[in-house]
């Protein structure tokens, strides 16, 4: 299990870096341009991705008060990409250094609606990395709507082939 989670954590970091390399060639105006999707712009989608990774991190660390870093964020897309990159690197580091017991550990948390749950850490990690994949797909569609033609492949199999 740990090897698979390490691979997914590394993939998550790699795929974000590849896609942000493309996104960061755009202007701030393009990053903020309203596009119909789950979130209304490239920047808002990336903010959501950062919030999600950060919120799960805080839950894992048993933080009493969950902070959404995207709520007060006023920086550039480049700063946002760096922040999400740092958070993704923290996940990779945590998974790489976690014991089997830590990965199997059942932890309690509450969602945004204050509902209580208990789940093994590995299920949360699989959700987290899958969540990133889902939103990177949305980002690709948004980039196409902005007329971007050269978008890097971020499929898991491409990551595996490059190792």
Query: What pTM was estimated for this model as a whole?
Result: 0.94
**What pLDDT was estimated at residue 68?**
94
The set of residues, in sequence order, having a beta carbon less than 8 Å from that of 104 and lying 6+ positions away, is: 1, 120, 121, 122
Q: In this structure, which topology does domain 2-161 adopt according to CATH?
A: 1.20.120
**What pLDDT was estimated at residue 112?**
87
**What pLDDT was estimated at residue 46?**
97
**What pLDDT was estimated at residue 100?**
96
Q: Cα separation of 20 and 95, whole Å?
A: 23
pLDDT by residue for the chain (163 residues), tens only, comes to 999 999 999 999 999 999 999 999 999 999 999 998 899 999 999 999 999 999 999 999 999 899 999 999 999 999 999 999 999 999 999 999 999 999 999 999 999 899 999 999 999 999 999 999 999 999 999 999 999 999 999 999 999 998 7
């Amino acid at each position: 299990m740990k090897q698979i989670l390490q691979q997914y954590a590394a993939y998550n970091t790699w795929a974000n870096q590849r896609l942000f390399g493309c996104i960061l060639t755009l202007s701030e105006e393009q990053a903020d341009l309203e596009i119909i999707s789950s979130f209304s712009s490239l920047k808002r989608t990336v903010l959501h991705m950062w919030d999600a990774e950060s919120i799960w991190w805080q839950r894992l660390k048993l933080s009493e008060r969950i902070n959404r870093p995207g709520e007060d964020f006023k920086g550039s897309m480049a700063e946002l990409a760096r922040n999400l990159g740092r958070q993704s690197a923290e996940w990779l580091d945590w998974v790489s250094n976690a014991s089997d017991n830590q990965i199997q550990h059942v932890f309690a948390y509450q969602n945004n609606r204050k509902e209580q749950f208990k789940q093994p850490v590995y299920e949360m990690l699989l959700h987290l990395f899958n969540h990133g994949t889902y939103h990177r797909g949305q980002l690709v569609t948004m980039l196409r709507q902005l007329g971007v033609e050269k978008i890097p492949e971020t499929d898991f199999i491409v990551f595996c082939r490059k190792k």
